[in-house]
Structure 1
Amino acid sequence: MVAALLAAVSVAADPATTASAGEQGAWFSDPVVVSGQNTAEPGIEVAPDGRLYVNAPAGLLADLPGAASFLWRSDDGGATWVLTPPGLRAAFPGGGDSDVAVDPQGATVYFSDLWVGSSTAAVSDDRGNSWFASPLSGVVIHDRQWLATSGGGVVYLAYNQIPAGVMVSKSVDGGRTFVVHSLAASVLDRSGCVCPPGTMVVEEGTGPAGLADRVGVVYATSTGGVGFARSVDGGLTFAQVTVAPARDGIDTTRAFPVVANAGPGQLVAVWQEVVEGQRTRVQFSGSADWGRSWSDPQVVVDAGTPLFPWVDANGGGKVGVSLYHTDQATLPDAAPDDAVWFERYLESLDGGQTFSPLVTVDPTPVKTGPICTQGAACAQDRELLDFQAVAIDTDGLALLTWARSIDNVADTEIRFARQLTDEATTAAPTLHLHDAVGDAITRPLPWLFRTATWSPTGR
């Protein structure tokens, strides 16, 4: 696995095949509409008991005095979804960025709901049916928060605190109060970028109250790089590690970098790059020492126009990457009116050494035309907001959730699809790969085309 993570091998599939992969959509179940609620940028979490949670924002301070964001739960592997009641969350401000985390040791669900001044922190011990909530978490005046838990009631909140930089706050009472605050990465660490961080990962340590937890936050820099703030003392102190160095002509700030656990001591990360102001691509890197060092970045999606990539992984070598994608090579903001965007996916079964071509998850387009990536500065074409997401379940199957624009203006819905359970494998095609020095190799990929079925539980 260490060798796989550190190998600098990239996929060299035919760009046309890579971009136009609609015929391979049988990898996934028919899409399910999680909700017709007009929202976007859904996140997804898998609970230890197999239940699934999808969250999305309601709209900043959409209702006063409360403005609770949405949390849906599926008890049948994603076949059906219910909107969990907001309970006490509805009494407090929110509706901005939202995130959910599930305690790996039980059924406790943690929720964070941004309202700019701070974010409302909430905890449920009954799978989201009722809530304890508090309107304050973290240092006041912050943006784009992310939640993570190492278990046992230890919860971490990462966010962009204005003006200091990326802060991490910690709760040791099950997400009810956050009393430990640390600067994870300053504005200077990010080369002057006053921008939200990427996602956060944690790994449980051996000490009490999470004192030996590993905590990490990935972030973009204003000079075309990607960094990783790494803590090995439960978020008390952080060291800065370079994932991708600063580079001229590269912009890494148009989408959130994403990091994920890939087994004990192992991490994977993906991020989007705007190249010379002309096109986008997706880069991948892995770490075999929990972020102390990272493999050389490799381009995993270069054809067409990839947008808002997300990654998840497990300890068995599975790495799943989801994204919005159009076959037309352009900038998302400048895409022509006939550019058709789809939810697409690629994966690795060897820890990131090689990746499959892109496959289309849903034959129904998510949008046509331009997609604005300027955040709050967007005047239009921002109905998908800023990300979609993938999670790998305990069976090693990819679970995807994304937004679809119904009217191509403002009306949206949240969708979900599950990777199919394998039953038989047919003859495998061969994908031509390149190693770091350009020596051509071939390798059969028995997982590329499958005969499969899907059951609601995914078992």
Structure 2
Amino acid sequence: MVSPAFDRTHRRGLVGLLAACVVGTLGVAAPALAATPGSGTVSGTSTTTSWTAGPFAAPNVTGATGAVTCQPQLCDDFALHVATPTGYGDTHQLTVKVGWANAAADFDVYLLDGTGAVVASSASSADPEVIVVPPTSGDYTVRVVPYAPLGESVTGTATLTDLPANPAPSTATPPTFSQYGAPQSFARAHDAGEPSIGSSHRTGSTFYQALYDTYKATWDDSVTPSKVTWSDVSATPAKGCATGGSTSLDPIGFTDPTTGRVFESQLAGKTSLMCYSDDEGASWSPSQGGGLNSGVDHQTVGGGRHSPNGIGALPTSSYANAVYYCSQDIADANCASSHDGGVTFGPAVPMYSLLDCGGLHGHVKVAPNDGTVYVPNKSCGGNQAVAVSEDGGTTWSVRKDPASTAGDSDPSVGIGAKGTVYMGYQAADGTPRVAVSRDKGKTWTDDQNVGAALGIHNTVFPAVVAGDDDRASFAFIGTTTPGNYQDAATFKGEWHLYVSTTYDGGKSWVTVDTTPTDPVQRGSICTGGTTCGNDRNLLDFMDATVDRTGRVEVGYADGCTGACAQGGGAQNFDAYATVARQQSGNTLYAAFDAQPNLTPTALSMAKTGGLYAATATVANTGNAPASGVATRLLVDGVNVATSAPLALPAGSSSVVKFPGVRLGKGTHTVVVVADPDGHVKESNEADNRRQIQVTR
């Protein structure tokens, strides 16, 4: 079997194929021209230096193994001196950019310190390649390695820039999460390097794809933390999926939340071996697997409501939603749509070419309000971007976030109920950033670092989900250790699973470490595909979903188990199928928020002198605190007094005393009303009154 890591190396191989064709045309490789000038300095008073080099005719073959050896005439070194005062790095950063004219070419950039150690690298398919690091004084080498030069020259710049301003983090109460590992008896429980996860909103079941296997989790939320029951519901020949459980170049799972249909796709070149289930894995049916002219790599499957625009907008079967199969090919990436629930697919349509974006892309997502389709990409002209179709996959547009920088991990998008798009990504400096679009990716706002408050320096595997239009969560694996996180020899960071959540439409985010005592990985995480060698337990992505009550669920591979996790032992390079599931706090659906409930539990009236004074006990029987709680006293329907507002934590009560009133002879109706003007949103608005009869 070919490893699921095939996708990353295959992308480089495709570019290499183009390079080989060009080199064959040019003949013998010509010597590369040295950098002009050969050195430069940046400082607090002179913040930019630039250079050019080339043309480069032949690739440096050491780049195929992730090495940075500068073979004679096949790479370029630029000597960079950085001179900054103490504290300069608190508000500034060093940005190195290397670009070229022909977007089909591919160069890699490495920043070496004075000892020759790699400080940072940018070895994707981005143009320009960008490195962002702290502006520490010293002597450096900027090494440009031609991976697929196509006869191109390069232009480099090193600039000291201001750190991007970041808004204050959210003051919302952070949600909490519990971790659930698949049973050890499951065949692929420790072979889940590229997991997918989905939730059926019809039944509440969760489905986790671990290579060939599909695992079902059902939840008992009557206790905290929730209890889980696992079952192996994998697609097999015995269950009707003739191609199940045998071979794969890449695994992908998708669960349609509204219909409950579960898909499992195993890459097989220019299609996939795909099956689907409508009974939660009890039986499976075969699918065409993808459309004609689909790509050979890095497939993604998703779906949602049909777009009212475009060809074939209406379903051709009783299945309610459209299904999309998107993948990478040699010179482009394309997407095929299905209007019969994924049974068959139309021809694949190009989303972009390698002149627009790098080949690899993130997971396809469909807007729940209007069927707009989004496929995110980490490198489109040096920016993160989304390929967008507003007509059911008939035509596509690439829409960039101009404030972003290209990274090494696929970005991810989540789409809110009314179409707000949240894009989470790994920036060039390794930090986790997220941006928001309210016009289908045409413009972006609120681009910010959601890991700054926790000191997160490096990030991999973004996964974003949304619920209500103003609520979304961004999951990622991160570490507070700075430096080159792909350096297996020297990087010693400890990685954890983080989830950042917004409740105000992306203006602010609250970030929580969901595995504070149980690291997901120790040491490096390589995102360079099969060039990583043994440093390759976690592959290219993870996934996240939202259940029917708005709880966030993250499907990830735990790479550090046993003694590695509990005893601080050496990294054991596991890939254990694990779900992080939200346990407390507001979810992504406001309708399920914990709410207070205000009710008067006691009321009495006593005579003191010639006056009658009322005393009431007001309780908060709900699951959330309440503030500004006033209580009003009425006698025979007349408003007599209103108490000063007070705060009531969940489960607490308070005694409220009212000033005495005069009562005439006879029987009087005395009423107290908690929150009489309806300022507090409650789980039960019908139990706010208490009434007694008083006779004088």
Q: Same fold (TM over 0.5)?
A: yes
| Matched position secondary structure for 2:401 | strand
**Paired residues for 1:44-63 under 5 Å:** 44-49=197-202, 50-57=204-211
Q: Which residue of 1 aligns with 2:136?
A: none
Cα 1:386–1:131 shift into 2, 3 Å: same
Give the Cα separation in 1 of the matches to 2:264 and 2:325.
10
Amino acid in structure 1 at the alignment position of 2:279 = D
1:112 aligns with 2:265: yes
1:28 aligns with 2:177: yes
1:262 aligns with 2:425: no
1:10 aligns with 2:177: no
1:83 aligns with 2:232: yes
1:228 aligns with 2:396: no
Per-residue deviation, 1:243: 2.1
1:289 aligns with 2:439: yes
1:318 aligns with 2:471: yes
Q: Which residue of 2 aligns with 1:72?
A: 215
1:404 aligns with 2:572: no
Cα 1:343–1:105 shift into 2, 3 Å: closer
Q: Which residue of 1 aligns with 2:487?
A: 334
Per-residue deviation, 1:114: 1.2
Cα 1:316–1:395 shift into 2, 3 Å: farther
Give the Cα separation in 2 of the matches to 1:346 and 1:204.
22
Per-residue deviation, 1:149: 1.4
**Paired residues for 1:384-395 under 5 Å:** 384-395=538-549
Unpaired runs of 5+ residues, structure 2, are: 1-163, 221-226, 306-319, 565-570, 586-593, 595-622, 628-649, 652-696
Amino acid in structure 2 at the alignment position of 1:415 = T
Deviations 1:197-238 (A, max 9, x none): 122121368xxxxxx842121112264212222111111111
Q: Which residue of 2 aligns with 1:181?
A: 348
Deviations 1:58-99 (A, max 9, x none): xxxxxxxxxxx1211112267122121322445366433222
Q: Computing the radius of gyration over CA atoms, which structure comes out larger, 1 or 2?
A: 2
Q: Which residue of 1 aligns with 2:364?
A: 200
1:241 aligns with 2:409: no
Q: Which residue of 2 aligns with 1:366?
A: 520
Matched-pair contact (CA < 8 Å) for 1:99–1:145: yes
**Farther off after superposition, 286-295 or 266-275:** 286-295
Give the Cα separation in 2 of the matches to 1:55 and 1:115.
17
| Matched position secondary structure for 2:197 | strand
Amino acid in structure 2 at the alignment position of 1:70 = D
Deviations 1:313-356 (A, max 9, x none): 11152211111122211232127454211112221111211011
Give the Cα separation in 2 of the matches to 1:26 and 1:313.
15
Matched-pair contact (CA < 8 Å) for 1:158–1:167: yes
Choose which of 342, 350, 371 in structure 1 pairs with 2:504. 350
Matched-pair contact (CA < 8 Å) for 1:25–1:360: no
| Matched position secondary structure for 1:396 | coil
Q: Which residue of 1 aligns with 2:190?
A: 38
1:159 aligns with 2:327: yes
Q: Which residue of 2 aligns with 1:3?
A: none
Cα 1:346–1:103 shift into 2, 3 Å: closer
Q: Which residue of 1 aligns with 2:579?
A: 416
1:299 aligns with 2:452: no
| Matched position secondary structure for 1:376 | helix
Per-residue deviation, 1:9: 8.2
Give the Cα separation in 1 of the matches to 2:409 and 2:478.
14
Matched-pair contact (CA < 8 Å) for 2:243–2:273: no
Cα 1:318–1:203 shift into 2, 3 Å: closer
Q: Which residue of 1 aligns with 2:282?
A: 129
Amino acid in structure 2 at the alignment position of 1:182 = V
| Matched position secondary structure for 1:270 | strand
Amino acid in structure 2 at the alignment position of 1:38 = H
| Matched position secondary structure for 2:486 | helix
Tell me the percent identity: 25
Deviations 1:94-116 (A, max 9, x none): 43322222334423222222133
Runs of at least 4 residues off by over 6 Å? none
Q: Which residue of 1 aligns with 2:337?
A: 170
Matched-pair contact (CA < 8 Å) for 1:323–1:343: yes
Cα 1:128–1:292 shift into 2, 3 Å: farther
User: What TM-score, normalized by structure 2, do the two folds share?
Assistant: 0.51
Choose which of 236, 240, 253 in structure 2 pairs with 1:100. 253
Q: Which residue of 2 aligns with 1:436?
A: none
Deviations 1:212-268 (A, max 9, x none): 8421211122642122221111111112212236x7xx542x101101111122211
Number of corresponding residues: 387
Per-residue deviation, 1:369: 0.9
Cα 1:395–1:363 shift into 2, 3 Å: same
Amino acid in structure 2 at the alignment position of 1:414 = A
Deviations 1:24-54 (A, max 9, x none): 998123x211244222222211112211111
Give the Cα separation in 2 of the matches to 1:337 and 1:103.
40
Give the Cα separation in 2 of the matches to 1:107 and 1:306.
32
Per-residue deviation, 1:425: 4.9
Matched-pair contact (CA < 8 Å) for 2:380–2:400: no
Matched-pair contact (CA < 8 Å) for 2:460–2:478: yes
Amino acid in structure 1 at the alignment position of 2:362 = G
Give the Cα separation in 2 of the matches to 1:349 and 1:409.
37
**Farther off after superposition, 87-96 or 224-233:** 87-96
Matched-pair contact (CA < 8 Å) for 2:200–2:258: no
Alpha-carbon RMSD across the aligned residues, in angstroms, is 3.2
Matched-pair contact (CA < 8 Å) for 1:380–1:409: no
Per-residue deviation, 1:157: 0.9
Per-residue deviation, 1:391: 2.0
Per-residue deviation, 1:13: 6.0
Give the Cα separation in 2 of the matches to 1:228 and 1:181.
18
